[in-house]
């Protein structure tokens, strides 16, 4: 392991594991692979001081090559040293699951802030330290970026870090060396099988958060209404486990006495937390699950009832069942739903708010799990009155091919294909009549569309407002 003194003596000014981003003064980590040496040479040509690799040093690079048994292990330990062990100075809290991570993280952050703590937030929508916000590229960043972010948070005076933790980051060891004070599990439904291949592999990746990255005295808060959540609760051995159930599972510690949901939000009666009811502007069963999970977490780590209530009353999450247009009769919502479970939940909630026809605009991302496409088509056809099938982020696939797989699960004539997402949204908006509800699903907070390998500006909200206003 490289010591702080060794790093100083080498003149290391930064750490890098992506040759495209290498800068003068960097220590470059050549991750194992066929192109490791090629990437190392590129990094050195850009001014990197030395390379950490697992193979024997190429003869001409011997003076700049540090051979180790595991580059990933060395990368984690060096990051800890270089950034002065920032996670030892932060209370880190993680939430994982297929759906609900972003809403839960926003609620967690707001409840901690309500206690007067200065927080940092890392997730799908943004990276934020105090009041400074920048957009996120990944739900969970790479380990070097993560340590740099944590160090910046410490320097800014933050006491707590709230993170969404993805299954990819867990499987790839991107949170190596971190031990969380608390970890939440929302649910596990079909997604990312292009990467994990099976639901069992997907579950095992999520499980790592609770078996490898939770502090010895940490608390695990788990939704046991979810079948994988119930299994997780039974299988993990941690100091504190809190089981949560909206549906009244007998094994749950925290169960609501009642949940009343309407157009303007919810009222929850949760005796295990307070005798007085809680109110929130969030709507729908899926948000009831998120709210209960985070309330249970807050209770378990000693957050005050007042901070819980304040967060529930004020938090708004961009692109999560976000009402973009409402003229008192017609309403259009934008939602990030891009999995079968998420789409089903959103449409079911929308149905309860709809006095006319319920329509949905959606597509599926390219170069991602293909198996869910026909399932989402089936769900959309079943739960909406009319479906506008369109493009999402096609990436390197042909949009027409993706759409063909979606409509493979549809068997009625209550849908229309419009490949252009903008034209599909405009057509869906034009077709609305009094009492109708339209859901524009799949992209949520995103203000871009990825076509080929190019990211170009595209915002569902802008298209909706241009057409409706």
Confidence of residue 177 (pLDDT cuts 50, 70, 90): confident
Please give the Cα distance from 14 to 11 (Å, whole number).
9
What is the per-residue pLDDT for 64?
A: 95
Retrieve residue 351's tokens.
């149905």
371 in a known ligand binding site: no
Q: How many other CB atoms sit within 10 Å of the CB of residue 169?
A: 24
**Does residue 297 carry a pLDDT above 90?**
yes
Please give the Cα distance from 266 to 260 (Å, whole number).
5
**Does residue 291 carry a pLDDT above 90?**
yes
Convert the pLDDT of each residue in 24-62 to its tens digit. Answer: 999 999 999 999 999 999 999 999 999 999 999 999 999
302 in a known ligand binding site: no
32 in a known ligand binding site: no
198 in a known ligand binding site: no
CA distances from 6 to 27, 78, 206 (A): 12, 11, 36
Domain-wise residue ranges, the chain: 2-81, 84-312, 320-466
Nearest to 354 by CA among 426, 436, 284, 422: 436
**Does residue 251 carry a pLDDT above 80?**
yes
What is the per-residue pLDDT for 10?
A: 93
What is the per-residue pLDDT for 411?
A: 95
101 in a known ligand binding site: yes
Nearest to 390 by CA among 458, 318, 322: 458
CA distances from 247 to 155, 242, 254, 298, 326 (A): 43, 15, 11, 20, 32
Q: Where are the beta strands (DSSP E) in 201-257?
A: 214-223, 240-244
The terminus-to-terminus CA distance of the chain in angstroms comes to: 61
Nearest to 366 by CA among 402, 390, 330, 336: 402
Convert the pLDDT of each residue in 326-345 to its tens digit. Answer: 999 999 999 999 999 999 99
**Does residue 125 carry a pLDDT above 80?**
yes
Which residue in the block uniquely carries the two structure tokens 């750490």? 15
What is the per-residue pLDDT for 262?
A: 83
Confidence of residue 2 (pLDDT cuts 50, 70, 90): confident
Q: Where are the beta strands (DSSP E) in 5-125?
A: 14-16, 26-29, 50-53, 65-67, 91-96, 119-122
Convert the pLDDT of each residue in 376-430 to its tens digit. Answer: 999 999 999 999 999 999 999 999 999 999 999 999 999 999 999 999 999 999 9
- Whole-number average pLDDT of the chain: 95
98 in a known ligand binding site: yes
454 in a known ligand binding site: no
Convert the pLDDT of each residue in 180-191 to its tens digit. Answer: 999 999 999 988
164 in a known ligand binding site: no
pTM, rounded to two decimals? 0.89
97 in a known ligand binding site: yes
394 in a known ligand binding site: yes
Phi, psi for 182 (deg, rounded to 5): -155, 150
Convert the pLDDT of each residue in 132-175 to its tens digit. Answer: 887 777 778 899 999 999 999 999 999 999 999 999 999 998 89
Convert the pLDDT of each residue in 252-282 to its tens digit. Answer: 999 999 999 888 899 999 999 999 999 999 9
CA distances from 1 to 5, 33, 260 (A): 11, 22, 56
**Does residue 81 carry a pLDDT above 90?**
yes
**Does residue 131 carry a pLDDT above 90?**
no
Q: Where are the beta strands (DSSP E) in 383-425?
A: 386-389, 415-417
Q: Which residues contact 286 (CB under 8 A, 6 or more apart)?
A: 99, 100, 342, 345, 346, 349
Q: What architecture does CATH give domain 320-466? A: Alpha-Beta Complex (3.90)
Mean pLDDT of 431-454: 96
Please give the Cα distance from 290 to 261 (Å, whole number).
14
- CATH for the 2-81 domain, from 3.40.1390.10, 1.10.287.610, 3.40.50.1820, 3.90.1150.50: 3.40.1390.10
258 in a known ligand binding site: no
221 near 185, Cβ under 8 Å?
yes
Please give the Cα distance from 64 to 237 (Å, whole number).
44
**What share of the chain has pLDDT > 70, as a percent?**
100
Q: DSSP assignment, residue 284? A: S
Identical fold for domains 84-312 and 320-466, yes or no, is: no
Q: Burial code of 368-407, b = ≥16 C-beta within 10 A, e = fewer? A: bbeebbbbbbbbbbebbebbbbbbbbbbebebeebbebbb
Please give the Cα distance from 86 to 148 (Å, whole number).
9
Q: Under CATH, domain 84-312 is a member of which superfamily? A: Mur-like, catalytic domain (3.40.1190.10)
103 in a known ligand binding site: yes
187 in a known ligand binding site: no
Please give the Cα distance from 374 to 272 (Å, whole number).
41
330 in a known ligand binding site: no
Q: What is the CA radius of gyration of the chain?
A: 24
Nearest to 111 by CA among 336, 319, 296: 296
């Amino acid at each position: 392991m490289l010591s702080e003194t060794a790093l100083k003596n080498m003149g290391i000014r930064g750490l890098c594991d992506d040759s495209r981003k290498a800068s003068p003064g960097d220590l470059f980590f050549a991750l194992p692979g066929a192109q490791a040496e090629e990437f190392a040479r590129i990094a050195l040509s850009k001014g990197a001081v030395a390379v950490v690799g697992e193979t024997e040093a190429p003869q001409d690079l011997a003076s700049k090559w540090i051979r180790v048994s595991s580059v990933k292990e060395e990368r984690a330990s060096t990051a800890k040293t270089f950034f002065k062990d920032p996670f030892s100075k932060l209370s880190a809290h993680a939430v994982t699951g297929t759906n609900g991570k972003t809403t839960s993280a926003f609620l967690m952050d707001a409840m901690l802030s309500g206690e007067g703590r200065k927080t940092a937030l890392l997730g799908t929508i943004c990276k934020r330290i105090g009041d400074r916000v920048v957009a996120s590229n990944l739900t969970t960043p790479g380990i070097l970026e993560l340590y740099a972010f944590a160090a910046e948070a410490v320097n800014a005076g933050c006491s707590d870090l709230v993170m969404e933790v993805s299954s990819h980051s867990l499987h790839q060891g991107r949170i190596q060396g971190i031990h969380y004070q608390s970890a939440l599990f929302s649910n596990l439904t079909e997604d990312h099988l292009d990467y994990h291949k099976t639901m069992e592999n997907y579950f095992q990746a999520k499980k790592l958060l609770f078996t490898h990255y939770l502090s010895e005295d940490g608390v695990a808060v788990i939704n046991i209404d979810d079948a994988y959540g119930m299994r997780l609760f039974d299988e993990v051995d941690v100091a504190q486990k809190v089981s949560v159930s909206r549906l009244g599972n007998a094994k749950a510690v925290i169960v609501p006495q009642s949940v009343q949901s309407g157009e303007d939000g919810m009222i929850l009666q949760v005796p295990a937390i307070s005798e007085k009811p809680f109110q929130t502007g969030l709507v729908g069963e899926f948000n009831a699950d998120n709210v209960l999970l985070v309330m249970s977490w807050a209770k378990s780590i000693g957050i005050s009832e007042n901070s819980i209530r304040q967060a529930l009353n004020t938090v708004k999450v961009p692109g999560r069942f976000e009402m973009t247009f409402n003229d008192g009769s017609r309403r259009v919502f934008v939602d990030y739903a891009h999995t079968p479970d998420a789409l089903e939940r959103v449409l079911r909630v929308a149905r309860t708010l709809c006095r006319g026809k319920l329509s949905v605009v959606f597509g599926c991302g390219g170069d991602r799990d293909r198996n869910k496409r026909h399932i989402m088509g089936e769900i959309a056809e079943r739960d909406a009155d009319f479906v506008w099938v369109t493009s999402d982020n096609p990436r390197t696939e042909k949009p027409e091919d993706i759409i063909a797989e979606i409509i493979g699960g549809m068997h009625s004539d209550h849908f229309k294909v419009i490949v252009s997402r903008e034209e599909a949204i405009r057509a869906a908006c034009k077709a609305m009549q009094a009492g109708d509800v339209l859901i524009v699903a799949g992209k949520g907070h995103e203000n871009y569309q990825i076509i080929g390998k190019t990211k170009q500006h595209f915002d569902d909200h802008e298209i909706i407002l241009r057409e409706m206003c």
